[in-house]
Amino acid sequence: MSGDQAWHAERNRQCEEVAVGPELWAVLIVGAAVAGWIDAVIGGGGLVLIPLLMAVVPGLAPATALGTNKLTAVTGTASAAWTMMRRVRPRFSPWYVVLGLGCSGAGALSASLIDATLLRPLIIVLLLAVGAFVALRPGFGTQVRGGTAEPGRWRRLLVLLLVGVIAFYDGIFGPGTGMFLIMAFTAVLSQDFLRSAAMAKVVNTSTNLGALLVFAVGGHVWWQLGVVLAVANIVGAQLGARTVLGGGVKLVRTALLVVVIVMSSYLAWQQFSS
């Protein structure tokens, strides 16, 4: 173990020894459930849970907050993916999972080399562009434009490229991953938001797992806390999956527009306050 890893491990051990009272446990558990619901509906649960972890456990290393969030998120997202894929049953390539796992792990390894303040302006612009596109095209994602035909070769290659890029981004930075995956599947494969949301949950599970493996190897996961919060996250994710299945494409479209506003505002606040 390097000196830097040993320092982080000792800091995390000290944080784990901090007495977390019942009321703070309740806050974290409720927060994990809410994050699971948000992730299942459209993505972005990390924007709830990561700041909550760092507020409840002062001094927690940011990498440990990220790693623990990934442990929590991967279980909830996987459970939502299972529920939605059983009901929706879209066409799905196993290569999406392979790319999601590998590219997100590579992104997590590269995270320390890239300044987040350089990424935020680009992501804010992309979020606003996505929101404007969806708002100005009410029919986008509400029906299957390609019918039952198999997408052409160039579309299959393009969606693989986009999955790899988005997965790499998830490992480096993360906010909006689920939304970007939904947009990629909807636009390139000409399918509705509901099918795209189900596929996005599977890919997002693999991107969370890829990043989690990197964080775990580096000793940046608080396993005891993460397991408890994972149970709450699964409960929230199951409620979120059922919310999506009940609300259909209109709910996903509305949630996408809401998350664009919230996430771009949050990232802008981070950018200008740092």
Distance CA 252, CA 247 (A): 8
Distance CA 234, CA 32 (A): 9
Cβ of 30: how many Cβ atoms within 10 Å? 13
> 262 or 175, which is more confident?
262
Q: How many structural domains does the chain have?
A: 1
- Among 257, 181, 243, 215, residue whose Cα is nearest residue 50: 215
Average pLDDT over residues 36-64: 85
Q: Kindly state the DSSP code that residue 112 receives in the 8-state scheme.
A: G
pLDDT at res. 14: 46
Q: Encode pLDDT of 122-175 as tens digits.
A: 888 888 888 888 888 877 777 665 555 577 888 889 999 999 999 999 888 877
Cα dihedral value 29, 30, 35, 37, nearest 10: 120
> 29 or 58, which is more confident?
29
Average pLDDT over residues 67-76: 92
Mean pLDDT of the chain: 84
pLDDT at res. 256: 84
Helices (H) and strands (E) in the chain, counts: 10, 0
pLDDT-based confidence at 229, cuts 50/70/90? very high
Q: Give buried/exposed letters for 55-84 (b at 16+ CB in 10 A, else e).
A: ebbeebbebbbbbbbbbbbbbbbbbbbbbb
pLDDT at 254 over 90: no
Whole-model pTM: value is 0.84
Domain span including residue 177: 3-273
Distance CA 2, CA 31 (A): 34
pLDDT at 7 over 80: no
pLDDT at res. 37: 94
pLDDT at res. 165: 95
pLDDT at res. 19: 55
